């Protein structure tokens, strides 16, 4: 019985993580992909770790602030007008990671 309970909890946790990942990717595809997939207007490309390194070195708070205020060709809120600071952080972490 304990094994069944542990297996059920593990499956549930896995499903929750997958749902969160799917929501993040959906948000990325709706708001970030246009510029960050191709590097439009100097945007660092998603998955280009080297391009993201100098930005990440500034600190996550600075990056989130840049998104909220806009920077260069990126408009304020980066086209994600309903994103929270935590949402921006998750999107930045996703885009800056090797794909």
DSSP string for 38-81: TTGGGPPPTT-HHHHHHHHTT-HHHHHHHHHH-BTTBPGGGG-T
**What is the three-class DSSP state of 84?**
coil
Question: What global pTM score does this model have?
Answer: 0.79
52 C-beta neighbours (distance < 10 Å), count: 20
pLDDT at 18 over 80: no
Residue-level pLDDT at 8? 44
Instruction: Report yes or no: 8 and 39 within 8 Å, Cβ to Cβ.
Output: no
Domain 20-96: CATH superfamily is: Cytochrome c-like domain (1.10.760.10)
- The angle that helices 85-96 and 49-56 make with each other, rounded to 10 degrees, is 140
* Interval 22-79: pLDDT, tens: 899 999 999 999 999 999 999 999 999 999 999 999 999 999 999 999 999 999 999 9
């Amino acid at each position: 019985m304990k094994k069944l309970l542990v297996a059920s909890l593990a499956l549930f946790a896995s499903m929750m993580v997958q749902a969160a990942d799917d929501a993040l990717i959906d948000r990325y595809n709706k708001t970030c992909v246009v510029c960050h997939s191709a590097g439009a207007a100097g945007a660092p490309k998603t998955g280009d770790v080297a391009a993201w390194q100098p930005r990440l070195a500034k600190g996550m708070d600075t990056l989130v602030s840049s998104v909220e205020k806009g920077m260069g060709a990126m408009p304020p809120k980066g086209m994600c007008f309903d994103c929270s600071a935590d949402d921006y952080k998750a999107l930045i972490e996703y885009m800056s990671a090797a794909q």
